[in-house]
Homo-oligomer: A and B are copies of this chain.
Amino acid sequence: MTAHDELLTFLTTTLGPSGVLCDDVDIARYRIDWAGAQGGIPLAVARPATPEQVAEILGYCHRNDIPVVPQGGGSGLVEAALPDRDTPELVISLERLNGIRHVDPINFSMSVDAGCILQTIKDAAEAEDCFFPLTLGAQGSCQIGGNIATNAGGLNVLRYGMMRQLVLGVEVALPDGRLLCDMKALHKNNTGYDLKQLFIGAEGTLGIVTGAVIKLFPRPQVTRTALIGCPDVESVLKLYAQSRRSCCDLLSAFELIPRICLELAIEVAPDLPDPLDEGHPVYILMEVAASGPVNLDGMIEALFEIGIENGWINDGVLATSDHQAKQLWRIREAMLEGQQRRGEHLRTDVSLPLSALSEFHHRAQLSMEETSPECTVIAYGHVGDGNLHFNVLPPPTLEQEAKRSLLHELELQLFDIVAEFSGSISAEHGIGRAKQAPFLETLTAPEHEIMRGIKRQIDPRGMMSPGRILPATHD
């Protein structure tokens, strides 16, 4: 028997026939991701149904030097979960380990399997009059284990934090085949090094999250959405600081949408009304939510007054119905589709101190336009977190090769400016393979050594998602 045959026999024995996929057709969907990137042909796709099975597979692979890559819902954007194109890997999909273990509305917590779909979790929370705040475009398909492995962000970070802030406990299958179980539903626990922090955001390079205890919140009873037209990014930032004050920490979203994005949205959905009478350079899509009786309308109207008085707001509309609020949010969704339709473009996910964001935006836009006068900058995003998706559409006439090379050049240029302003080249998407090169360049020697040391210690044979975040060690 070859090593590959032995692996298949082991998997079939351990997981049963439905737990292993080998057929080209069956495995096709594990080779592509949300962004359309294509991975290599894996050794097989294992579909364990219990945490113990995940651990058992890892132990086998560890002993036999078989590289593995865990996979959640496939909505990652940095190729961390795609099977390697050169060295065949075993894909471990968490999709069958997808139950909700326990909802505790008194403790405001829930324990779940890693393969549980985010939307399922949000629904289960709501059924107990609670709220799980992580909100992403991919929430109907992404899995909580992937959210934890990537320290996911999304729309509500400014109020509730990133995934890291929402995790109380984790259960992790370690590369050597043991289970590390830290599933206490505690809001405070200061006993030794907080090991769960290592696995959150490690993109599967230190083990596979198999379960978690997550935090819940009171379910919002009232939500208000507004679209605000502003003269420039500088005003937007002043408005944000005022909003945090006026809205008393009840602000749940604060999204920057430049005029061009509104136009892209209307291209895709021509029935979408241009919500304000005139066009404005930038817009803010703002949401405020409360779990009890608060006069949110009064709060937002008072904010509008201050904003107009100070010249930060040109005009604004407060949705008066759920339907109207949904229409405003449709702009946010449709603009992404509109962007997609324009074909290959530079997509980034940078973050800056908010106080530097306006100048950064100005400098970066100038720099892009200097290099390529016909390119179109589309900078939108979670501006309340200092997080900009600073994207660039290349001139439409450019041929493929020239386009790729231009986009690469623009990216390097942009990352240089990010560094000048002490920003991050990856606010929420992570590193994976796609951003490894620029990431490694920003690391200082002690950071690099400590990261490598942690990897070596927890995964000494380098079989866990090799080549993601850090270069592979087994090559």
Contact = CB atoms under 8 A, between A and B. Distances in A.
A299 B105 CA distance: 21
A355 B190 contact: no
Contact of A426 (B180, B190, B302, B352): B190
A106 B383 CA distance: 12
A405 interface: no
A295 to B, nearest CB: 7
Interface stretch (A26-34, A42-50, A193-201): A193-201
B439 A450 contact: no
A197 B454 CA distance: 13
A35 interface: no
Contact of A353 (B107, B174, B198, B423): B107
A152 to B, nearest CB: 9
A185 to B, nearest CB: 4
A292 interface: yes
Contacts of A270: none
A422 interface: yes
A178 B249 contact: no
Nearest to A206: B193
A209 interface: no
A361 to B, nearest CB: 14
Contact of A351 (B186, B431, B458): B186
Q: Which of A190, A247, A356 has the most CB of B within 10 A?
A: A190
Nearest to A129: B245
A217 B150 CA distance: 26
B423 A186 contact: yes
Interface in A180-230: 180-182, 184-195, 197-198, 200-202, 217-219
A453 interface: yes
Contact of A293 (B180, B302, B443): B302
Interface in A439-475: 439, 442-447, 450-451, 453-454, 457-458, 469-470
Contact of A186 (B237, B241, B386): B386
Contacts of A241: 105-106, 108
A71 interface: no
A182 B165 CA distance: 19
Interface in A76-124: 104-109
A447 B186 contact: no
Nearest to A424: B189
Nearest to A457: B453
A103 B361 CA distance: 22
Contact of A197 (B197, B352, B458): B197
A469 B192 CA distance: 6
A193 B243 CA distance: 32
A424 B457 contact: no
A332 interface: no
A385 B188 contact: yes
B292 A194 contact: no
A151, A201, A248: residue with the most chain B Cβ atoms closer than 10 Å: A248
B424 A190 contact: yes
A34 to B, nearest CB: 16
A162 interface: yes
A107 B352 CA distance: 9
A193 B386 contact: no
A454 B193 contact: yes
Contacts of A355: 104, 106-107
Interface of A: 104-109, 129, 150-151, 153, 157-158, 161-162, 164-165, 174, 178-182, 184-195, 197-198, 200-202, 217-219, 237-238, 241, 244-250, 290-295, 298-299, 302, 351-356, 382, 385-387, 422-431, 439, 442-447, 450-451, 453-454, 457-458, 469-470
22 contacts: A104-B353, A107-B355, A150-B190, A153-B188, A162-B188, A165-B165, A186-B351, A188-B385, A188-B427, A189-B351, A189-B424, A190-B201, A192-B451, A193-B201, A193-B202, A195-B451, A218-B249, A219-B245, A246-B293, A249-B290, A293-B298, A450-B457
Given A182-B447, A193-B469, A197-B198, 11 more contacts: A151-B190, A186-B351, A186-B353, A186-B386, A190-B430, A190-B431, A193-B454, A194-B201, A218-B244, A249-B291, A295-B295
